[in-house]
Amino acid sequence: MIRISIALTILASAFTAAAAEHERPDSEPSVQRSAALEPRSLPNGVEALPVLGSSSERGAAREHAEPAAEPKKPAESAATEAAAKGELSPFSVSPSVPRAATAVAVSGYDSASKGFRARGAAEGRLLSFLAARVEYEHGLANGPSDRVSLGLRATFLNQAQHGVDLGALVFYQPRDFREEGEVVGGLLLSRRFERLTLVLNPLVGSDPEGDDQSVELRLAGLYKAGSWLVVGLDSRGRYNLSSDEKRIGHLNIDWEAQAGATTSFGVGPLLLTTLVGPSFLQRTYLGVGGPGEHQFRAGLLAMAGAGASF
């Protein structure tokens, strides 16, 4: 009986093994899986543990663990960024110092003065808070029609730490009939509100003799509409005071104002800009017996030009 029981047990085990092997589609993968699970010996005698899971499973786990990469943002134009700060405006001056250098030049027709008008400015960084500035202007004025201004400007406060950008500007303007010129100084203020930047420049000038003075105000509002577009408003107004006898016999500008809607397109370091808006001026002939009749003019100013930021 014992021999019969042993034989039956052997037969049952063989039948079970055969059935299990029959359910597998191929016997070789089982052998390969078994071999894969066996520890392998490395040359230094250390046994390597088996690696579980297929490469596709590991890839899926890695993709699940790593967050998807964010889409790349369009490259920011250096000229657009400078224009949004007010560094490339035709009239107003930003208190921020350029990264290396900036330049802008615009020209067009002013029907109020009935003549061609041009403006240009270039700046170069000297120190982290100091820049040299050169301005050029052509047009009707109390003095030569072509004027060059040389000066320095510095930044004292920044918005990140003090809530506002604040700087100062000092330069020399040759505007006088005798080429005496004026020494001009003023404050540079700006405040950013996300995409909107406001710029304010109150300036005061005087000649060395002290008998010719001027007060000037420049104001700008700039909105960064995109990575390549800045729109806004740029303006300036100037009031002249004089008690100098050399003004006698001349038609002098008492005050003038220009303003315009600006549109600037930036591509890399280069900028194309336009300005269109109203222009006003008042002139008075100063005779021996005193000032004569005031002459007021209003017209349209249209200018276009280019700039760059490096």
> Which tokens hold the place of 275?
């300005």
At residue 247 the predicted structure's pLDDT band, cuts being 50, 70 and 90, is confident
pLDDT number for residue 52: 40
Label each residue of 219-262 as H, E or C.
EEEEEECCCCEEEEEEEEEEEEEECCHHHCCEEEEEEEEEEEEE
User: Phi-psi category of 194—alpha, beta or left, where left has phi over 0 and alpha has psi -120 to 50?
Assistant: left
Which architecture characterizes domain 78-309 according to CATH? Beta Barrel (2.40)
Band (287; pLDDT cuts 50, 70, 90) = confident
The SS3 call for residue 75 is coil
In the predicted model, is pLDDT for residue 258 greater than 80?
yes
SS3 66: coil
Q: Which amino acid would we find at residue 260?
A: G
Least trusted range by pLDDT, from 5-9, 185-189, 235-239, 260-264: 5-9
Rounded average pLDDT over 262-280 = 98
pLDDT at site 144:
84
- Looking at per-residue pLDDT, the higher value among 5 and 271 belongs to 271
Average the pLDDT over 209-214 and give the result: 84
Task: Answer whether 183's CB lies under 8 Å from 203's CB.
Answer: no
- What SS3 state is found at 46? coil
Which of 70-84, 147-161, 226-240 has the weakest average pLDDT? 70-84
Determine what percent of the chain is predicted with pLDDT higher than 70: 72
The whole-number average pLDDT for the span 255-277 is 97
| Number of C-beta neighbours around residue 236 at 10 A | 20
Mean pLDDT on 111-132: 97
Give whole-number Cα distances, 221 to 84, 186, 230, in Å.
Answer: 9, 19, 10
**137-141, 251-255, 266-270, range with greatest mean pLDDT:** 266-270
Average pLDDT of the residues in 86-93: 97
Instruction: Yes or no: say if 276 and 260 are a contact pair by the CB < 8 Å rule.
Output: yes
Cβ neighbours for 119, distance < 8 A, ≥ 6 positions apart: 90, 91, 105, 106, 107, 135, 136, 137, 138, 303
**Has residue 140 got a pLDDT over 70?**
yes
Beta bridge partners of 298: 280
- β partners of residue 251: 285
15-63 residue pLDDT tens: 555 445 544 544 444 434 444 434 454 444 444 444 444 444 555 555 5
Between CA 100 and CA 6 the distance in angstroms is 97
Query: Where in the chain does DSSP place strands (E)?
Result: 40-41, 47-48, 101-110, 115-127, 130-138, 146-157, 165-173, 182-193, 196-206, 212-224, 229-242, 250-267, 270-287, 290-309
Q: Which pLDDT does position 40 carry in this prediction? A: 52
Range 59-79 average pLDDT: 61
Residue 22 is predicted with a pLDDT of 47
Mean pLDDT calculated for residue range 81-108: 97
**Residue 271 and residue 308 in contact, taking contact as beta carbons nearer than 8 Å:** yes
SS3 per residue for 179-228? CCCEEEEEEEEEEEECCEEEEEEEEEEECCCCCEEEEEEEEEEEEECCCC
pTM: 0.75
The mean pLDDT value of the chain amounts to: 82
pLDDT of res. 276: 98
Lowest mean pLDDT among 39-48, 154-163, 173-182, 260-269: 39-48
- Which residues pair with residue 291 across a beta bridge? 286
Backbone angles phi, psi at 109, to 5 degrees: -110, 135
